[in-house]
Structure 1
Amino acid sequence: MHQSPFTFDDSGAPVSVLDYTTLVVLHGCAFNKNPTDTFQKLLPLAAQNKLRIVLLNRREYSDTKPFTEEEISLFDSPDDQTHELFFDARAQELAEFLADFATKENLPKACANRGGLAVMGWSAGNAYALSLLSHASAIKDATREQLEPFMRTMVIFDTPGYVIGRDSLLGQTFVLLDSSHTVEERARMFGYWVSSYFDHSNISSRRFEDLQLMPDPTEKTGASTSRMTEAEYQSMVNPEASLRADVPAMLYPPEQFANWTKRALFDDDFAGRYWPRLQVTAIWCERTCWTCVDGGWGLEELRKQHDGLGVRGRPLKITMMPGANHFPHWDEPEKTMAFFAAAVYDE
């Protein structure tokens, strides 16, 4: 067993289900398990949905192993090759954790659409979750062989566009980079924006002009962060970690993430060699922020484009969660849990 650099919460195995699937969730930018998690409301709902849920705290976030300055220098470098090395290492350490957890906990192995592991990235966490696919060639043979019987599903949950190679800023100033505000103020502003409910004029047009960029302050539902107590908010937000572990990647050339996405999802050779049985499900939310709608659109466009080229890649199902913002697991946990279970079990 390896010494894990992560911390996690575990709902435990469902008592009455032998072939349950374990859903491992990697959190997004700023919002993490500290000790509260935006996904914590799903834990008591796991068993009744035939799931085991593990909420993983990514490195640099609370109570995990911080990145070394050497690792940060690779991540925050202008050199594309050092970015490759950084995510090579992230793929290896995540694969090690999953393989060790699956073995230690004696998880059911993947079989058809039951058992095994479903790895979910939420928001910016998809950059790390998808490294298991895009950087699979960097994972040690022994780790891959240990993990292979369990790898069944990858869930891409409400990914921002930059993770699949879209232009994530389009000339705008990203709030977490706005140095005219303190780090705490930036986190508050980001939390309000990213957890608001947006009324996009047309979510099927694929036209940027039809996306609402900023929240409407008169919108009745309000931001998800407005329904958090101050203690809950403070317990789950780590703005300093976001500036070290997530924001630098948002400034990478879009072509780099585009290449990684192609390798992860739309490369027949790669899909045949690494996790060949893996299914991929992408979920995007109807009332989420514009960049995550654009992420859903982008995946649909890439699937259509590669279908036209005769590239099968990995089986990819893309679905939209009606009425949901970026935080449905906080605002509507029962509905969200059922949606995740249906996606994981392909029902």
Structure 2
Amino acid sequence: MAPSLGYRFICPNRRLYPGSTPYTKEEADAFHPGRSTEEVLRVYLKQGEYLLLFVDNMIREQGLKKVLITGWSLGAGFLSAMVCSLTSFEDPARERLRRVVKALVWHDPPSSILGVPDPPTGGWVPLYDKSLTPEERQRSFGQWVVQYFPHPNVEERDFRKLIYKNTPAQTQAQQSTYTDLTPEDMLQMIDLHAGDKGDSFLGGEDFIPIGKAVWDLSFFSEETREAWGDVPFSVLFGEESTWTVIWASWKLAEEAVERAMQVRCIGIPGVNHFPMQDHPDVLFDAYLKCL
């Protein structure tokens, strides 16, 4: 679809995943619970610098003139690290990036990766449910994250109405993404073990202080905003995605108002966490609106 409209997607994998590189021992060690916030933050922000260098290299090598950078799901956290790292770049790279990059889009960021604590009503994510075995957590997460959650009246931003898990009484407006796949087939398409070799720590409960620090450095730092100039900061979220995504978007919009910082939070009705599979045209249109 994108090429037919004159665009192209360039999708680098996170480290440890196919086509990318493993973490060094120092980096992997830093991403373990018990390390100081300063040590984890240093290594985490370095990953953002590497990714932004990749973007700059693509701009130069491919002669790109108009770029939108997006990070989806856990990758939205690495987008935050990228955004922060521009302050460490010098010209001409910094000037080139702020001239060519036309939008920064956090797509369906889960609350944990942004350092947002659970709502007062609590929260539930299968991957962190210690009542389940590790195998059950993976299977349950694979079934949970692809569902449609009919959160009522999303525009009201009432956390008491968030749906943590669907019940038999709650009918999904659409079938779960990849509904024709068995859980076993689903696990063949994704890798829930790669992170255990390096960055599973990211997004967990112990990661919240680091996530919050990067939240401040990316969205609400005067130095970061000055470095990026007029490049707009946007958050896209599927209004029927997991509660973690809805909650993060609400809290971000709330703090943006409090701090008088411009962040566009755009809900996409009828969309879950996987619009690139179920509704690619809707998602692409939403991206273009962020330019």
Closer, same or farther: CA 252–150 of 1 in aligned 2, 3 Å: farther
In the alignment, structure 1 residue 219 sits paired with structure 2 residue 219:
no
CA RMSD of aligned residues (A): 2.6
Q: Residue 286 in 1 paired to residue 239 in 2?
A: yes
Name structure 2 gaps, 5 residues minimum.
none
Structure 1 residue 182, shift from structure 2 partner: 6.0
Confirm whether residue 52 of structure 1 aligns to residue 8 of structure 2.
Answer: yes
Q: Which residue of the other structure, out of 82, 91, 101, is the alignment partner of 1:132? A: 82
Rounded to whole Å, the distance in 2 between the matches of 1:96 and 1:88 is: 13
User: Does structure 1 residue 248 correspond to structure 2 residue 201?
Assistant: yes
Aligned to 2:178, what secondary structure does the other structure show?
Answer: helix
**How far has the Cα of 1:202 moved from its partner?**
3.3
> In structure 1, what residue type is equivalent to 2:193?
E
Residue aligning to 1:330 = 277
Contact 1:118 1:153 in 2 (8 A): yes
Counterpart mapping for 1:73-152 below 5 A: 73-78=29-34, 79-108=36-65, 115=66, 117-139=67-89, 143-144=93-94, 147-152=97-102
User: Alpha carbons of 1:231 and 1:207: their partners in 2 closer, same or farther (altered >3 Å)?
Assistant: closer
1:262 equivalenced with 2:216 (yes/no)? yes
| TM-score (norm: length of structure 2) | 0.86
What residue is the counterpart of 1:63 in the other structure? 19
Which 10-residue stretch deviates more, 124-133 or 245-254?
A: 245-254
Q: Is the 8 A contact 1:195 1:225 kept in 2?
A: yes
Would you say 1:165 and 2:115 are equivalent positions? Answer: yes
Q: Contact 2:142–2:187 at 8 Å: present in 1 too?
A: no
Please state which structure has a larger fraction of its residues in strand: 1
Distance change in 2, residues 1:290/1:244 (3 Å): farther
Structure 2 letter corresponding to 1:90: Q
Q: Does the aligned pair in 2 maintain the 1:184–1:239 contact within 8 Å?
A: no
> What is the match of residue 143 of structure 2?
192
Counterparts in 2 of 1:213 and 1:178: CA distance versus 1, 3 Å:
closer
Question: What SS class does the counterpart of residue 284 from structure 1 fall into?
Answer: strand
- Aligned residue pairs total 286
More helix by share: 2
Distance 1:174 1:317, change over 3 A: closer
State the identity as a percent. Answer: 23
Structure 1 residue matching 2:202: 3-state secondary structure: helix
Secondary structure at 1:215 match in 2: coil
Alignment partner of 1:271 out of 225, 229, 241:
225
How far apart, CA to CA, are the structure 1 residues paired with 2:207 and 2:135? 27
CA distance in structure 2 between the partners assigned to 1:210 and 1:283 by the alignment: 20
Q: Partner residue of 2:161?
A: 210
Residue identity in the other structure for 1:282: V
Q: Do the aligned partners of 2:98 and 2:228 also contact (CA within 8 Å) in 1?
A: yes
* TM-score, with length taken from structure 1: 0.74
Contact 1:91 1:139 in 2 (8 A): no
Q: CA deviation at 1:164?
A: 2.8
Show structure 1 runs of 5+ residues with no match. 1-44, 109-114
Equivalent in the alignment of 1:339:
286
Write out the 4+ residue segments of structure 1 that deviate beyond 6 Å after TM superposition. 229-232
